[in-house]
Amino acid sequence: MARVYVDAQASRALQKGAMIIFKKGVIRTEGEIKPGDIVEVYSRGGKFLGKGFANPNSNIMVRLLTKEKDVEINKELFKERIRKANEYRKKVLRYGNVYRMVYGEADYLPGLIVDRFNDIAALQISSAGMERFKLDVAEAIMEVEPEIETVFEKNTGRSRRREGLPEIERVLLGKEKYRTIIEEGRAKFIVDMRGQKTGFFLDQRENRIALEKYIKGGEKVLDVFTYTGGFAIHAAVAGAEKVIAIDKSPKAIEMAKENAKLNGVEDKMEFIVGSAFPEMEKLQKKGEKFDIVILDPPAFVQHEKDLKRGLRAYFNVNYQGLKLVKDGGILVTCSCSQHVDLQAFKDMIIAAAAKAGKFLKMLEPYRTQAPDHPILMASKDTEYLKCLFLYVEDMK
């Protein structure tokens, strides 16, 4: 078996619980390594640190799977890890039949994400090694949760391309099924496996539900980057009088319209297909003001090198959004960029508010991703979502 030797910094991180080894932390390798091969990892001094999947063509050189030399990496290992991850969601977090079943390295399965939507499991793989075992993983999912009848392979996106893997979207195992209806708080949503990501953004679930308590009845709400209407539907169901939802994807807006009809709130809602900045500028020119503005943009920072440019994009969208919040209104603003830490995000919001002539007060503590997307304390990469509920006042 080939070997990978890592520097002192990477060794310390692994000993604290990290499971990802970046190429910059590798000192040398021994033996031929092809994408997806299982390798052993050692410190500079030759101490065994673990073994996992390697990919010499990726920025992530090794995804660690075990720190025990005699543990075999096979279906039984995956099944046991999936079982424990599922048990955590069911017994500790008390989720029903809609939740993130596996969240990568936070569940000791780096390169694997599994979302459960009733009897459908959506599978995302971003590791060449895990790709080799995906049928084993699918079988393990159905064995752990017999109520799951379909495993849908949702293997698309940048992470696949970076690993040199093909993009695939199909039923991998079980019944040919693509759609289901889920319940979330007081709202219902159609989940289609052929949409973005794994069909629905479960990480914002608690934040969407939290929005409902700020709807007293009769509010005017703006939801920018609405996707399939998540925050917007919750606002309408909770009693908002008028909700405008914007997204540049016609397909997403069509699904949002279906969700509005499903919840019986289509008469309260206006859907706009368009880019965020020009659409917000149009609303400003009309003199529109909203009781609540929600900003949940895509990740503007994909890599550390993009941090400065990405923060500027967050600044611009929040500045435009703040100009649309009435005096005494609420801004809900989010970032799903893991490279933007909380302090940088807060500093950006403060600067945007100053330019817009607004004072901000935190309505509640900093919110993050739903607990079925657990944050592994030893890995900052598992903590990515930031969500702030802010009370907005005009500077006078």
Task: Please give the torsion angle defined by the CA atoms of residues 87, 92, 93 and 95, in that order, rounded to the nearest 10 degrees.
Answer: 50
Q: Give the Cα separation of 125 and 131 in Å (integer).
A: 6
Residue 172 neighbours by CB distance under 10 Å: 19
Beta bridge partners of 170: 153
- Identify each DSSP E strand in 55-186 by its residue range: 60-66, 98-103, 112-117, 120-125, 150-155, 168-174, 179-184
Sequence-ordered list of residues with C-beta below 8 angstroms from that of 76, at least 6 positions apart, any chain: none
Sequence-ordered list of residues with C-beta below 8 angstroms from that of 354, at least 6 positions apart, any chain: none
Catalytic pick among 233, 336, 353, 356: 336
Distances (CA, A) of 72 to 38, 41, 51, 96: 10, 15, 10, 32
- The reply to whether 336 belongs to the active site is yes
How many CA atoms does the CB half-sphere of 135 hold within 13 Å?
Answer: 1
Active site residues: 336
